[in-house]
Amino acid sequence: MIWAEARGGAIGRDGGMPWHLPEDLAYFKQRTWGAPVIMGRRTWESLPERFRPLPGRENLVVTRDPGYEAPGASAVPSLEEAVSRAEGAVRAEFEAHLARLAAEEGASCQDPGIWPARAAWVIGGGRLYRAAMPLARELAVTRIELDVDGADTFAPEIGPEWRLVDPGEALTSRTGLVYRFERWVRG
């Protein structure tokens, strides 16, 4: 899972991010590129139209509305369905990669049984983060030194089952915000 949060766990206000942090947007793109991204309907709708769907990633939008249309993305009825589709897409890409390697080497290339299971990113919003927390293996959290008045969406609590493996370093954005990139793993 990946998110940016201000002090107090704030991740949103009025359907959007209450800050402008271009370095975090670049980090988000770099971390999620090529992998499926799973998001709730409100997160999908909060993306500027010119960025929908997020390029270079399969976009899966979780919604209870069976008639919901998300042009360029797949609308799915549950987090479980999104995870299943993402795993299938990752497995298909991995098998295609093995086939390309075999063709290039002119030999058969066996599946070593090692592939990135659940190699997808949950990108929001608050309810989906909380629902996905038990399934996650890694958290990429951008901590922003900012108080957000009127925040209405919050990050999930990171419990004792998580270990901070990279606390990041304090950086200053060209916009003046101080932030850090943290990496957490389960266990």
Task: Give tens-digit pLDDT for 121-174.
Answer: 999 999 999 999 999 999 999 999 999 999 999 999 999 999 999 999 999 999
The pLDDT mean for the chain works out to 90
The CA-based angle 108-112-118, given to 5 degrees, is: 125
Cβ-contact 38, 123 below 8 angstroms: yes
User: Distance of CA 106 to CAs 109, 112, 137, Å?
Assistant: 9, 18, 36
For domain 2-186, the CATH class is alpha beta
Query: For the residues 11-20, what does the mean pLDDT come to?
Result: 95
Task: Give tens-digit pLDDT for 62-84.
Answer: 999 999 999 999 999 999 999 99
Q: Which residues contact 115 (CB under 8 A, 6 or more apart)?
A: 90, 91, 94
CA atoms of 52 and 140, how far apart (whole Å)? 22
CA atoms of 117 and 87, how far apart (whole Å)? 6
pTM over 0.95: no
Domains of the chain, residue spans = 2-186
Q: What does DSSP say about strands 59-62 and 37-40: parallel, antiparallel, or unpaired?
A: parallel
* Per-residue pLDDT at 99: 67
Task: Give tens-digit pLDDT for 80-109.
Answer: 999 999 887 766 666 666 667 667 765 555
* Per-residue pLDDT at 108: 52
